[in-house]
Amino acid sequence: MFSPTGLVRPRASLGAPASLPIAIGVAILAGWLMDLGFPDRDWWPLTLLGTAAMMFAVRGLSLPKALLVGAVGGFTFYGITIWWLTVYLGLVPWIALTLAEVVIFSLGMGLIALIWRYGSAHWSSVAGRLGVLPALVGGAWMLREAISSMYPWGGFAWARIAQSQSESTLAPLVSWFGTSGMSFLLAWAVALGVALLGEPRLSVTGRGGLAAAVSLALVVWPAWPVVESGSIRVLAIQGNADAGLLANYQRGDNLRDHYLVNRELYGEEVDVVVWPENASDIDPLRHPEAASVVSEVAREMNAPLVVGAITKVGEESFNSMLLWEYDPTLERGVARDQYDKIHPVPFAEYLPEREFFYPLWPSLFSMIPRDYSFGERDTVFALDGATAGIAICFDIVDDAIVWSMMDEGADVIFAPTNNADFGRTDQSVQQLAIARLRAIETGRSVVNISTVGTSAVMDPTGATLDRLPTYTEGYMLLDVPLAHHTTPATAIKRNLEVLVGSATIAGLFTALGATRFRRKESD
């Protein structure tokens, strides 16, 4: 019953753990399968299959072996999924970000291994193995994703398993439980499947019936009802501007490209015009020539213009969106409101710990010549008859920013972005999938408009109302539904993470404590 070290040998419901070479091979396969469920392939069942394989790979392993297997699986998964980072920035930033995620992924798999190993000894009944253990494993997976979304440097909330399901029949779950809650449910269901595969006390029919019942419940779970409250007519402009970080363009080219597309639509009746992030590469707050251009657009469209620009206050620079309106009394345009990006992207929009990192590789980090400051303004613009939440680029991935705009009364979400560095890779469609899931989660339409694509408008159910091809100038002109209702997901916020995460840690410590107690009893 006891190992030489005094620790309880867990009863493994699936037999002996895999040997280390086999576990590593399964982890590599798992990472590859998990990636295949994300855009652009969107073979979403494979992400769940890969998750199951990853859980199986670490089942029954000691902590050191589980950490190694987790690191291999994490490197495979993240290395493939965010390969787009290499296109313009090279291998070093890709390696750095991948390794940062691998550390957290590896620790998460270590936690899951401990739950499998010692939880199965403590909860040895059928109810324990099929009820408690899968819930704890699912909680550990969700906890790993939650930590990764916040740390380090504000986190990288990318490639959560829920985000692979934006086009799947399971997507409605996110309106009830949020992204983290949906990841928990999926991981729990997958862990249950892993446990059922070798459960000795249930017949094949019993195991199959339970798996089918859980799968059916998740598939038929309805989305939270959408209650539309009118619409707003939106014109969104994709200028196909060469706006990449390392692009060879002249000052004002981005502004000109979007202006030329917009100019052909003068006279259209709209409520608001939306341009992407960095669409004005000249700050209209400081340069009259840029102010003149955006003022003309606002005047001729007889509507406010939401436009992206880099703004400055003293020595601080911000990645901003401006709500620009033409004031006939003043006979000029003015910025009625401004949102400054709250969470600039580390190693892209600013260099964390510059004094430490820059000397390590000056030629590389000189690509980040300035550090954008962290914005502190609210996340909504008040329009005529609507309140628009503003999410600049990777903002759409940040749970806290999305919850903030919901609290501030957003009834539509504008997600202006600049994907020029990655537009021909999976990055833009991965981001669009996240935006689609946000539409379902919040019950709000999302206008995702990029300099080069992928640009699309989704209604509150996540259905695509319009879409533009990448690297093509164009526009979307349509009535976008508004909504004021609150979904359970936006009401729960981080409370579910705290509850499930705390229960998971408590469960593990309970199992470890029981192991220690039994060891003392045997001595």
In this predicted model, what pLDDT tens digit does every residue of 249-283 receive, in sequence order?
Answer: 788 899 999 999 999 999 999 999 999 999 999 99
Answer whether 377's CB lies under 8 Å from 338's CB.
yes
- Model confidence at 85, in pLDDT bands (50, 70, 90)? confident
- Distance (Å, rounded) from C-alpha 507 to C-alpha 499? 12
The H-assigned helical ranges of 59-173 are: 63-81, 86-89, 91-114, 120-122, 126-127, 133-148
Provide the pLDDT for residue 245.
62
What pLDDT is attached to residue 94? 83
pLDDT band at 169 (very low <50, low <70, confident <90, very high): very high
| Mean of pLDDT values over 422-442 | 92
Query: Confidence band (pLDDT; 50, 70, 90) for 92?
Result: confident
Amino acid of residue 374: F
Backbone angles phi, psi at 8, to 5 degrees: -65, 130
User: If pLDDT is split at 50, 70 and 90, which confidence band does 11 have?
Assistant: very low
Q: Are 145 and 180 in contact (CB under 8 A)?
A: yes
pLDDT(248) > 80: no
Given a cut of 70, whether residue 368 has pLDDT beyond it is no
CB under 8 Å to 376, separation ≥6 — which residues?
A: 340, 342
- pTM over 0.75? The answer is yes
Per-residue burial over 316-353, b if 16 or more Cβ lie within 10 Å, else e, is: ebbbbbbbbbbeeeeeebbbebbbbbbbbbbbbbbbee
Tell me which amino acid residue 288 is. Answer: P
CA pair distance 306, 381, nearest whole angstrom: 9
Question: Can you give the C-alpha Rg of the chain in angstroms?
Answer: 25
3-class secondary-structure state, position 321: strand
Whether residue 294 contacts residue 335, with contact meaning beta carbons closer than 8 Å, is answered with no
Work out the pLDDT band at 192, boundaries 50, 70, 90: very high
Q: Is the pLDDT of residue 3 over 60?
A: no
HSE-up of residue 201 (Cα within 13 Å, Cβ side): 10
